[in-house]
Each structure stands twice: as structure tokens, then as C-alpha cells.
């Protein structure tokens, strides 16, 4: 789901959820590459492109203000591009009750496309942790603790 990024501002993200996500990433350990995000009102805070889950810092986060699925454009604030999973996370957050998402990518992943996003939404009706073919695992929760708990399905 390769999207175009339009920067509304190029500044470091100052958000109370950043510390929570850094702390959570330390609990994830070395499960591989991935992304972590939290809903912040109508926006999301997500790891930046190429950020390593095992060594996140305050500089590894981007705020997605809006995402236009028709034009495939993400409006963001941050110092770098958002994770390739940003569009997938944005679409999952349209479902009520989800406020935290952790994605752990397979070694040879393809960028999530619209079909992967639709499959994720379908599978998340029955489980908070799912495996997506050609992508990896996605764990969701009403908070970060619940999303971390869901990683036990790996």
C-alpha cells in the first residue's frame, strides 16, 4: 500500500504515547522488524520507516493526521516518512475499540496493499492477533498492554 506522504510539519513528535510505545517495544524483544502505533483522538502515532522495534527512540515516531485511501496520501507531522504499515494501521483504527496496534513483519514481506488491509479487518472480527499471508502478524488492543498480550500468538 505504497502511499504518498505530504508533510504538514517537519518537527519532532511530542506526544505522551511515545514513551508508552518505546516501553512496549522493549517488551516485544527481538521478534523482528515491524511497527507500533497508538490512536490519538482522530490521529495516530506510528513508528517511522526503517525504525527498529528493538531500539526505538523519541525520534522514531510520526503523527499521521489523516489518510486518504482513495488518493493513497498520508498527511503527517514528523521528521521522517511513516512506516509502510501506516495505511494498514489507519484502516484498522476505523474499527471501534482498537487503540493500539503492533505489526511484526515476516522476513520477505510485501508492502501491505488494500487486499491485505481488507483481509486484516475480516480476520480481526474473530481475534486480536492475526497472521496475514505475505505480510506478518498484527496484534490489536483497546490499549498497548492488550496489544502486547496478543503477541503471544506468535
Q: Quick one: CATH architecture of 4-153?
A: 3-Layer(aba) Sandwich (3.40)
Q: What is the pLDDT of residues 88-128, one digit of tens each?
A: 999 999 888 999 999 988 765 656 677 888 899 999 998 99
Sequence-distant (6+) residues with CB within 8 A of 125 are none
Sequence-distant (6+) residues with CB within 8 A of 118 are none
Edge-to-edge strands, sheet with 61-68: 4-9, 73-78, 61-68, 43-47, 34-40, 100-105, 136-141, 129-132
Q: Specify the pLDDT at position 123.
A: 93
What distance in Å separates the CA atoms of residue 118 and residue 90, rounded to the nearest whole number? 12
Query: Given pLDDT bands bounded at 50, 70 and 90, which one contains residue 43?
Result: very high
The residue that leads in pLDDT, 134 or 45, is: 45
Q: Specify the pLDDT at position 6.
A: 95
Q: Specify the pLDDT at position 26.
A: 86
What distance in Å separates the CA atoms of residue 1 and residue 3, rounded to the nearest whole number? 6
Domain extents in the chain: 4-153
Amino acid at each position: 500500500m505504497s502511499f504518498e506522504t505530504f508533510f504538514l510539519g517537519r518537527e519532532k513528535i511530542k506526544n505522551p504515547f511515545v514513551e508508552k510505545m518505546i516501553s512496549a517495544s522493549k517488551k516485544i524483544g527481538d521478534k523482528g522488524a515491524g511497527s507500533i502505533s497508538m490512536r490519538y483522538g482522530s490521529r495516530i502515532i506510528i513508528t517511522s520507516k526503517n525504525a527498529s522495534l528493538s531500539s526505538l527512540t523519541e525520534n522514531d515516531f510520526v503523527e499521521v493526521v489523516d489518510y486518504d485511501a482513495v488518493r493513497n496520501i498520508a498527511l503527517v507531522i514528523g521528521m521522517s516518512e511513516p512506516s509502510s504499515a501506516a495505511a494498514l494501521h489507519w484502516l484498522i483504527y476505523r474499527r471501534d475499540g482498537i487503540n493500539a496496534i503492533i505489526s511484526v513483519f515476516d522476513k520477505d514481506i510485501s508492502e501491505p496493499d488494500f487486499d491485505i488491509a481488507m483481509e486484516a479487518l475480516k480476520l480481526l472480527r474473530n481475534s486480536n492477533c492475526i497472521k496475514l499471508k505475505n505480510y506478518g502478524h498484527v496484534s490489536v488492543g483497546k490499549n498497548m498492554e492488550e496489544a502486547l498480550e496478543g503477541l503471544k500468538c506468535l
